């Protein structure tokens, strides 16, 4: 009871103070709070700049078959700035993803002065031919990336060529067409797409097959019809295939070595 009375009395006394005194007290309290916050901020900044929080180690995990851990660190470290608190993790991720063969990186802080990096590498699925003649690579997701093609066995990779943004479709089409062409005992060495989305396949025998345009299903069906009938034509003339044009509505045209002919019934689409 005495405490409650004392509190009420103090409140009455404070309320009875002149307005300028109450303002001064309030201002003093606010200044004290601001000072405390500023002091805390200064202490935090000072502590964050201490050598103990400088980055001392980077732990690299995940796929590192194309690059050694030392090579990855050497390529990324010059692009890393700051300490445990100030480092920009998004910028650090981009630094690691700029290393050849690295497709994706996840960067995390480890208290008090380390980074952990988990890497995913590109898996080469094809070569990507450019007009400038500088070959790039296509990964298993159909993404074009830059790396040294000499790091892979080029003889096992098909070549894809087409407009920007067509690599994913070309890779998917190659994966669907190759089993079909295998029925001829052949392999698609190169699959190219023109600016009008017309497809041409070059076989390992040197033969060229102009497939034409259409949906993916139409293209595969057109090739299936061709593969089902052209062996009879080749056997009839006993000459190797040089060129085939599947872009005819009433069949397709073939050129064997020294012979040209047309085969009806395998409809196509220009």
pLDDT by residue for the chain (270 residues), tens digit each? 555 555 455 555 555 556 666 677 777 777 778 877 776 666 555 555 656 678 888 999 999 988 899 999 899 989 998 888 889 999 999 999 999 999 999 999 999 899 999 999 999 999 999 877 667 999 999 999 998 888 887 778 999 999 999 999 999 999 999 999 999 999 999 999 999 999 999 999 999 999 999 999 999 999 999 999 999 999 999 999 999 999 988 889 999 998 877 777 654 444
Query: Does residue 59 belong to any structural domain of this protein?
Result: yes
- As a whole number of angstroms, the distance between CA 254 and CA 23 comes to 99
Residues 156, 256: one domain? yes
Query: Does residue 175 belong to any structural domain of this protein?
Result: yes
Instruction: Give me the CATH number covering residue 254.
Output: 3.40.50.11690
Which residue, 162, 181, 261, is CA-closest to 226?
181
Residues 85, 114: one domain? yes
- As a whole number of angstroms, the distance between CA 49 and CA 83 comes to 8
Which of 121, 144, 162 is the last residue before a domain boundary?
121
Per DSSP, the chain holds a count of helices (H) and strands (E) of 6, 13
Residues 130, 259: one domain? yes
Residues 107, 206: one domain? no
Residues 231, 102: one domain? no
Which of 121, 156, 174 is the last residue before a domain boundary?
121
Phi, psi of 184 (to 5 degrees): -95, 5
- Report CA-CA distances (Å) from 210 to 75, 145, 201: 44, 27, 6
Q: Which residues, in sequence order, are CB contacts of 161 under 8 Å at separation 6+? A: 128, 129, 130, 170, 190, 191, 192, 193
Residues 102, 201: one domain? no
- Report CA-CA distances (Å) from 101 to 37, 59, 124: 47, 18, 9
Please name the helix (run of DSSP H) or strand (run of DSSP E) that holds residue 243, with its range, or none: strand 241-248
Range of the domain at 108: 54-121
Query: Does residue 215 belong to any structural domain of this protein?
Result: yes
Query: Does residue 269 belong to any structural domain of this protein?
Result: no
243: left (phi over 0), alpha (psi -120 to 50) or beta: beta
Q: What is the number of domains present in the chain?
A: 3
Residues 98, 155: one domain? no
Residues 13, 62: one domain? no
Let me know: does 229 contact 218? Beta carbons within 8 Å. no
Which residue, 158, 215, 149, is CA-closest to 182?
158
């Amino acid at each position: 009871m005495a405490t409650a009375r004392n509190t009420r009395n103090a409140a009455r006394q404070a309320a009875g103070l002149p307005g300028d005194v109450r303002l001064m007290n309030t201002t003093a309290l606010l200044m004290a709070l601001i000072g405390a916050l500023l002091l805390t901020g200064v202490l935090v900044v000072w502590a964050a700049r201490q050598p103990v929080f400088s980055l001392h180690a980077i732990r690299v995990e995940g796929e590192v078959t194309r690059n050694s851990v030392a090579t990855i660190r050497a390529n990324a470290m010059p692009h890393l700035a700051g300490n445990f608190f100030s480092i920009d993790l998004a910028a650090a991720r981009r630094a690691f993803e700029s290393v050849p063969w690295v497709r994706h990186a996840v960067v995390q802080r480890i208290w008090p002065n380390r980074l952990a990096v988990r890497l995913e590498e590109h898996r080469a699925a094809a070569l990507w031919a450019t007009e400038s003649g500088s070959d790039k690579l296509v990964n298993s997701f159909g993404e074009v990336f830059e790396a040294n093609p000499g790091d892979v066995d080029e003889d096992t990779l098909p070549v894809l060529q087409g407009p920007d943004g067509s690599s994913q479709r070309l890779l998917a089409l190659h994966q669907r067409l190759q089993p079909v062409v295998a029925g001829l005992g052949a392999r698609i060495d190169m699959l190219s797409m023109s600016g009008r989305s017309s497809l041409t396949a070059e076989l390992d025998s040197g033969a060229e097959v102009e497939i034409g345009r259409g949906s993916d299903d139409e293209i595969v069906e057109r090739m299936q019809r061709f593969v089902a009938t052209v062996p009879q034509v080749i056997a009839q003339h006993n000459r190797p295939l040089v060129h085939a044009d599947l872009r005819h509505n009433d069949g397709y045209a073939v050129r064997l070595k020294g012979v040209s002919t047309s085969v009806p019934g395998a409809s196509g689409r220009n």
